[in-house]
Amino acid sequence: MLKLGVNIDHVATVREARYRGVGHGEPDPVAAARLCEAAGCHGITAHLREDRRHIQDRDVWKLREVVRTRLNLEMANAPEIIEIALRLKPEIVCLVPERRLEVTTEGGLDVVAAEKALTETRKRMNDAGVEVSLFIAPDTNQIAAAARTGSQFIELHTGKFAEEFQPAEGGNGRARTELQRLVAGAQQAHSLGLKVNAGHGLNYINLATLYQVPHLVELNIGHSIVSRAVYVGMETAVQEMLAAMQGYRG
Ligand code: PXP
């Protein structure tokens, strides 16, 4: 069964818009995480950015206390955050690139260029009992390098697919090339023994087309669920996404 990790960063984004630096305020990403779990999601994902633009340190510690499914900490391969992760011990970390000016994580990691440093972090995390995922584009060389780091998972970056997806065209228009890259990437990763997650830009509409990609274990979805929750509430938004995910055949 395809699993759903809900990314709750955007809940914190709304809170920080009003309560930056205050140390409390609404909406609370931890309360949102509880609702997501009550609705049946399989994991909670939060990105502790170096600039702390949305999720704060206190959020991740509180999440560690209350999350009953799986805590996935998205993070840069940066010394300060690595130390926090090693103490926090989420079930899994997803290493992502971070650039200060981006609105959200825009591109995948360059694993080829950073193979040595990523391998080192992978070892430290695994030694602490934390699994490791690398957020990468569906690129042959990046996937091969990800396997060499010894990581357990990759998360395929679906941002380009989502960007090019036109509902009227389904998978048969501009998104087709990117979809084929994702299919080939998932096959390559699977053949190298990597488990395959996917995320970024996925929503209630483009999801069905993504199901052509084989071997998917988990999707990490944030923006579309949090947006939908504004209208229908967090639990219903998560339940609707879980229902849409029933269509995946692997
Ligand atoms: N996966 C990763 C690695 C991400 O950086 C993000 C965005 O924070 C997501 C998934 C979720 O993307 P979205 O909010 O577009 O669903």
How many domains is the chain partitioned into structurally? 1
**Is there an atom of ligand 1 within 6 Å of 199 CB?**
yes
Q: How far apart are CA 125 and CA 105, in angstroms?
A: 22
Domain residue limits at 7: 3-247
Catalytic site positions? 47, 74, 200
Q: Look at the block and give the residue holding tokens 């569906």.
A: 138
**Per-residue confidence (pLDDT) for residue 107, from 0 to 100:** 75
**Per-residue confidence (pLDDT) for residue 174, from 0 to 100:** 83
Q: Count of H helices and E strands in the chain? A: 11, 8
**Is there an atom of ligand 1 within 6 Å of 201 CB?**
yes
**Which helix H or strand E contains 158, and what residues bound it?**
none
The alpha carbon of 148 and the centre of ligand 1 are apart by a number of angstroms equal to 24
The alpha carbon of 104 and the centre of ligand 1 are apart by a number of angstroms equal to 7
Kindly report the backbone phi and psi dihedral angles of residue 103, in degrees, each rounded to the nearest multiple of 5, phi listed first: -75, -40
**Per-residue confidence (pLDDT) for residue 100, from 0 to 100:** 55
CB 10, CB 54: distance < 8 Å: yes
**Per-residue confidence (pLDDT) for residue 168, from 0 to 100:** 85
What's this model's pTM, rounded to 2 decimal places? 0.96
**Could you tell me which residues come within 8 angstroms of residue 230 by beta carbon, excluding any fewer than 6 positions away?**
none
CB 239, CB 23: distance < 8 Å: no
Spans of the chain, pLDDT less than 50: none
CATH code, domain with 13: 3.20.20.70
**Is there an atom of ligand 1 within 6 Å of 185 CB?**
no
**Per-residue confidence (pLDDT) for residue 73, from 0 to 100:** 98
The alpha carbon of 193 and the centre of ligand 1 are apart by a number of angstroms equal to 24
**Per-residue confidence (pLDDT) for residue 53, from 0 to 100:** 95
The alpha carbon of 15 and the centre of ligand 1 are apart by a number of angstroms equal to 18
Best residue among 48, 74, 216, 245 to mutate for probing ligand 1, ranked by most atoms within 8 Å of CB: 74
The secondary structure of the chain in percent helix, strand, coil, rounded to multiples of 5, reads: 45, 15, 40
Give the model confidence (pLDDT) of 158-172 as tens digits: 999 999 999 887 777
| Strand pairing class (131-136; 92-95) | parallel
**Per-residue confidence (pLDDT) for residue 200, from 0 to 100:** 97
HEC profile of 185-223: HHHHHHHCCCEEEEECCCCCCCHHHHCCCCCEEEEEECH
**Is there an atom of ligand 1 within 6 Å of 218 CB?**
no
**Could you tell me which residues come within 8 angstroms of residue 238 by beta carbon, excluding any fewer than 6 positions away?**
4, 6, 35, 36, 39, 40, 41, 225, 229
Q: Which atom of ligand 1 is nearest to the CA of 202?
A: 16
Q: What is the largest CA-CA distance in the chain?
A: 48
**Per-residue confidence (pLDDT) for residue 102, from 0 to 100:** 52
Burial of residue 165 (number of CB atoms within 10 Å: 0-12, 13-18, 19+)? buried
| Strand pairing class (71-75; 92-95) | parallel
**Which helix H or strand E contains 121, and what residues bound it?**
helix 115-127
- Please report, for residues 50, 83, 87, 170, 232, the alpha-carbon distance to residue 80 in angstroms, rounded to integers and kept in the order given: 8, 5, 11, 42, 38
